[in-house]
Structure 1
Amino acid sequence: LDQRRSQVLIQAAILEISGDNADALGVQWAAGDPTKGVGVINFSNVGASLTSIAAVAAQDNPTSLPNLNGASLGFGKTETNSKGDRTFYGALIQAIKTMSNANLLSTPSIMTIDNQEAKIVVGQNVPFITGQSTNSSSGTTNPFTTIERQDVGITLKVKPHIGEGGTVKLEVEQEVSSVVPSVAGVNSADLITNKRSIKTTILADDGQTIVLGGLIQDDNSQSVNEVPLLSKIPLLGHLFRAKSHSQTKRNLLVFLQPVILRDSQNAVDLAAKQYNQTRILQLEIGQKGKLLRLPEQINQIYQGSTTVVPAKTVK
């Protein structure tokens, strides 16, 4: 009963690589007499719509126009006949291309005794609405909302079992979650979260890095808005059409490495090693223009590479 039990350090690595490419091109038209009526060819799948721009421009004191991303070219002309009637002609051409890439590497780790479950959570405790009610009494109305707080972030729960020959059986639950940023014009009753989780039982050797699972996702979408008949005219049909295309690729992999610590000296050496790696990481981040990249070898993924490579967006 008094024999010292071995400990196990479990290091996980969540690697997510994503890339987004999108492009759009469209032409919008307007013609007519502002006092009698204007005909508009309006598309909403390419930047700002012509009607939204016209609505702001028609104000007595317009403060700002809708956001015009990418390259926008607008032109128009007003003609007045002998009777004083005015006819307006105008067009808006918009083109935009967006590219973004992001690498996310998180390496949570936790140490526990053989056959003892351990859990680590790195994130936020977010309130979610579970119900709403109104209490009316004495002519007054008292609305109230009930909430439930949940952990959002990185969660690693594991229970190791050391076997013969340095093998380790691991009962693993790994979860990565995040709150989706709100989107303008989209109403939701409560917060929306992204969630990626794995629950499995695996067998690994001491110090061996294995992959728990992963996901490769490739999404393609295309949107075409056009004017019937006119859009089918050879060459000129492009003036009556708006096209947009987007492609998203995502690669998610989860790795795990157990390390057995059989005596106190192993634990002391490990603590010193982890501290030194943290100091090196601090110095590298402090250097101007220094960005940490993914290591070439999988066995190097836990050596201080707890880094997020920021997304790069080109428009």
Structure 2
Amino acid sequence: MTTSVFAHSRDPFFPDVLDVINHEKAPPTLIDEPLTKTQQTEQLHHRLYPLNYADADTLAKQLSTHAIPLLSKQGRVIADSDANSLSIVDNDKALSEIADWLRLKDTPQQQVYITAHIISSSQDALNELGAQWGLHTLKTTHVEATSTHPNTISPPSNSALSIPSLSALSLHQNTKNPLHSIAFNIARINGRLLELELSALEQEKQLSIIASPRLTAAHEKTASIKQGTEIPYVSRDNETTRVQFKEAVLGMEVTPMIQRNKKIRLILKISQNTPGIALVQGGSEHLSIDKQEISTEVTINDGETIMLGGIFQQKQQEHTANIPLLSSIPLLGVLFSHKRDQQSRHELVIFITPKLI
């Protein structure tokens, strides 16, 4: 419906008023004009953020995948790996929030200095050290021990082991080499001067220090150390002879995670692999590796020492005692000599001490 207003007036401004009234009464008219760029989106700005400690690629991935929901829909981020910096284009609000987030992330990560002592000890020496089993129940993710003929010991994943031990398990070799008996234990010992006591017991020949590796690792970063040899062996395949290598090393791999109240969570993998026997099959020689490995996950206090043990080695040795000259008399010499078998049992024990630095 259209309404028109007609009037007569001598006022020169009256026609203008009528035009306004008629415009108010007229049906609305749609104006199809494109929105300006400012109306479509907020104004974008470019910022360059150099990083000192954090990794630019890692942070850029978190921003671009919206794992950290800070970028707007129009925002873009590019990482410069060489300069370790982030180039970000976004609106003022998003850039301000990203800058605050980067200040929190770009801080030096606290590090953990880890000292380990790997020893072969008698039970008497462990008692003298004051090691006590059965004090705690710790989470263990995997335990493995492999002999010449691969046998694997693996408790269920994420299982909790109640100390003093996982049920006694044994591996035997059909040779005169040392027998291996595996039982996995974890314990904490008091904070006495461990290194001095270990050295004293080694001088008394009650234990043998195999290695004392030391590592420094950042929060949630894996560090490893290993020492040993690569053993060559010959393999034949389709009349082709190749020389390959197998590692026989003593190694440690650790990933620390720093928690509150100066607690440290450690993901540990310790292995002692030694050369086994060579098996000949089809003209090829296959070398076996005797493996002793522990993989575990524990949480301990800063400066506390934890002990991993329970890998036993039993050695059988034959000793002959005789009387010189008389024992060499034919037939009668056996009367002046004596043979006896001696068994020795030692335990492979690892002491781990993490320290925040």
More strand per residue? 1
Flag the structure with larger Rg.
Answer: 2
The higher-RCO structure (CA 8 Å, 6+ apart) is: 1
TM-score by length of 1: 0.41
Higher helix share: 2
Normalising by structure 2, we get a TM-score of 0.37
